[in-house]
């Protein structure tokens, strides 16, 4: 049977993470994005598909840029990137944002100074089916796009909305930024239009089904008429579910711990790009600040890494204008604050290695593993006790993957 030269096989093999790059790049409009309760996935109209293969070229689901995106504890300790904690000095921004409001403040300032014309972001406006990606152009739209979203969003698909003659910020997870880079190779004007890439520290994307179960847990059956704010009312934020006149508030520990964080998609398990390796700025939660926040429960802090001079210049201007407050931190602080994410990143390298070596229907032939097998940091990790445990876990992960495919 002839294998189609499109991303149908990516989704079939559970390697799609729903970034939407394939939908954007398709010149035949043959790809639409759907969700059946899990992650967003591409639906292909075979009658329209011309087998050009562009969708496969931009797919970061099957291309692993390990050299530029993997992030182990040792690599962070050796990193020379500038690290900070900080927050917006605008009370409304800091209060409404999930963790400090640094991303929101950057977008607002660059819009006001007319350095950018808009920002590509994930938005949670309206009810649950309305959650998605969009290009925001005004301060009001930006303020309505704050806070975390734990729901599948195809950020790259929103590139359809941008004007090649205007300038933008792109905010996305590591997989989104990886796909954006691949798109920029094919369409260089995209790279010129995106003035700043802001990455989000990401452990995984919860399935849509997890939100449905969370909403149903408070007695609401019709999620289509329900609004959810995943993290609001300060830091770390409560989950607020509203349906008609009814409103329910759940602690973040319950909403994430019991529902949203319980299942990790297979492709997310293979992802070592939780620190968004292609981001100019990478932002996440400063969980290590938690003891200090007992005195200041309503105000969060952003933890962020600066990778480029352009990003540092933006940050310096915001500090000079007194729009943000920042404080340098060490690599050890970052590691302690994001220990779960870093541990998952390291485990993913082992899972990818085993998947590459053992899976017969290997879609990863374009992925170079020279980085893994020659990197001294990884070799030391491999032969440590921690590494051997992760190798055993990788074999178990592969076994479950094969077993689940047979049961499908």
136-158 mean pLDDT: 93
Whether 11 shows a pLDDT value over 80: the answer reads: yes
What does the pLDDT read at residue 382?
67
Closest by alpha carbon to 130, among 43, 227, 54?
227
Average pLDDT of the segment spanning 79-92: 91
Instruction: Give the mean model confidence (pLDDT) for residues 250-255.
Output: 91
The token duo for 401 is 């993957």
31 within a domain of the structure (yes/no): no
The beta strand positions in 201-321, using DSSP E, are 227-232, 238-243, 246-250, 281-285, 302-306
CA geometry: angle at 333 spanning 331 and 334, to 5°? 65
Based on the fold, state whether residues 77 and 143 are members of the same structural domain: yes
Residue 148 C-beta-side C-alpha neighbours within 13 Å:
32
Q: Is the bond into 236 cis (omega within 30 degrees of 0)?
A: yes
Residue 385 lies in a domain: yes
* Number of domains forming the structure of the chain: 2
Of 102-111, 151-160, 340-349, minimum mean pLDDT range:
340-349
For residues 65-81, give the mean pLDDT.
82
Region 58-62: mean pLDDT is 93
Are 156 and 24 in contact, with CB atoms under 8 Å apart? Answer: yes
| Same domain flag for 274 and 241 | no
Q: What is the DSSP string of 61-93?
A: TT---HHHH---HHHHHH---EEEEEEESSHHH
Which pLDDT tens digit goes with each residue over 285-308?
888 765 544 444 457 889 999 999
Alpha-carbon span 266 to 261, nearest angstrom: 14
Asked if 179 and 59 touch (Cβ cutoff 8 Å), the reply is yes
> Residue 278 — pLDDT band, cuts 50, 70, 90?
very high
State the average pLDDT over residues 330-352: 90
Sign of the dihedral defined by the CA atoms of residues 247, 250, 251, 257, in that order: negative
CB 100 within 8 A of CB 304: no
> Among residues of the chain, what percentage have pLDDT more than 90?
62
Report the percent of the chain where pLDDT is more than 70. 90
Type and span of the H or E element at 120: strand 118-123
Q: Give the residue numbers spanning the domain of 221.
A: 208-260
- pLDDT number for residue 13: 86
Residue 360 burial (CB count, 10 A) = 5
Q: Which tokens sit at 299? A: 């105000």
**What was the pLDDT predicted at 232?**
78
Residue 68 CA to residue 65 CA, distance in Å, equals 6
Given 216, 231, 260, the domain boundary residue is 260
Instruction: Assess whether 145 and 92 both reside in one domain.
Output: yes
Same domain, 169 and 243: no
Residue 2 has pLDDT above 70, yes or no: no
Residue 105 lies in a domain: yes
Gap between the Cα atoms of 272 and 369, Å rounded: 13
Pair 251, 298 in one domain: no
pLDDT in the model for residue 290 = 55
Domain boundary among 260, 288, 303: 260
At residue 3 the predicted structure's pLDDT band, cuts being 50, 70 and 90, is low
DSSP 206: P
Mean pLDDT for the stretch of residues 238-244: 93
Q: Dump pLDDT digits (tens) for 174-225.
A: 999 999 999 999 999 999 999 999 999 999 999 999 999 999 999 998 888 9
- Say whether both 183 and 230 belong to one domain: no
Considering the domain boundaries, does residue 189 fall inside one?
yes
- Residue 242 maps to a domain: yes
pTM: 0.91
Whether 292 and 384 map to the same domain: the answer is yes
- Answer yes or no: do 323 and 175 share one domain: yes
Residue 40 lies in a domain: no
pLDDT at 83 over 80: yes
Chain mean pLDDT for the chain: 88
CB 94 within 8 A of CB 324: no
Q: What is the pLDDT of residues 377-388, one digit of tens each?
A: 666 666 677 777
pLDDT of residue 314: 96
> Which pLDDT score is estimated for 164?
95
Identify whether 132 is part of a domain.
yes
323 and 407 within one domain: yes
Give the pLDDT mean for 41-67: 92
Helix H segments across 170-289?
174-186, 188-193, 208-216, 252-254, 266-269
């Amino acid at each position: 049977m002839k294998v189609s030269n499109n991303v149908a096989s990516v989704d079939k093999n559970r390697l799609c993470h729903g970034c939407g790059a394939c939908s954007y790049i398709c010149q035949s409009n043959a790809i639409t994005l759907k969700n059946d309760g899990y992650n967003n996935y591409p639906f292909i109209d075979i009658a329209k598909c011309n087998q050009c293969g562009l969708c496969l070229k931009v797919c970061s689901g099957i291309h692993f840029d390990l050299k530029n995106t993997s992030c182990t504890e040792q690599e962070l300790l050796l990193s020379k990137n500038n690290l900070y904690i900080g927050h917006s000095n605008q009370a409304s921004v800091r209060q409404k944002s999930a963790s400090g409001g640094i991303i929101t403040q950057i977008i607002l300032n660059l819009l006001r100074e007319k350095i950018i014309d808009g920002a590509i972001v994930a938005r949670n406006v309206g009810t649950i089916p309305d959650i998605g990606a969009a290009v925001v152009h005004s301060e009001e739209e930006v303020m309505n796009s704050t806070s975390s979203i734990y729901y599948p969003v195809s950020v790259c698909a929103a590139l359809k909305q941008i004007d090649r003659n205007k300038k933008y910020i792109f905010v996305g997870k590591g997989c989104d930024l990886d796909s954006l880079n691949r798109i920029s190779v094919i369409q260089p004007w995209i790279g010129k239009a995106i003035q700043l890439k802001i990455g989000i520290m990401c452990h995984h994307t919860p399935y849509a089904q997890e939100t449905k179960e969370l909403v149903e847990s408070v007695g609401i059956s019709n999620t289509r008429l329900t609004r959810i704010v995943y993290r609001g009312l300060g830091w770390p934020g409560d989950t607020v579910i509203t349906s008609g006149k009814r409103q329910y508030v759940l602690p973040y520990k319950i909403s994430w711990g019991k529902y949203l964080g319980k299942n990790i998609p297979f492709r997310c398990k293979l992802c070592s790009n939780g620190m968004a390796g292609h981001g100019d700025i990478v932002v996440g939660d400063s969980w290590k600040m938690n003891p200090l926040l007992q005195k200041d429960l309503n105000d969060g802090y952003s933890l962020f890494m600066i990778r480029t001079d352009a990003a540092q210049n933006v940050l310096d201007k915001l500090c000079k204008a007194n729009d943000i407050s920042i404080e340098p931190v060490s690599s050890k602080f970052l590691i302690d604050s994001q220990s779960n994410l870093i541990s998952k990143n390291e485990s993913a390298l082992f899972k990818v290695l085993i998947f590459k070596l053992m899976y017969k229907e290997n879609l990863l032939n374009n992925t170079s593993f020279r980085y893994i097998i020659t990197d001294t940091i990884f070799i030391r990790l491999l032969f440590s006790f921690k590494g051997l445990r992760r190798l055993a876990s990788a074999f178990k992960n592969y076994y479950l993957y094969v077993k689940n495919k047979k049961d499908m």
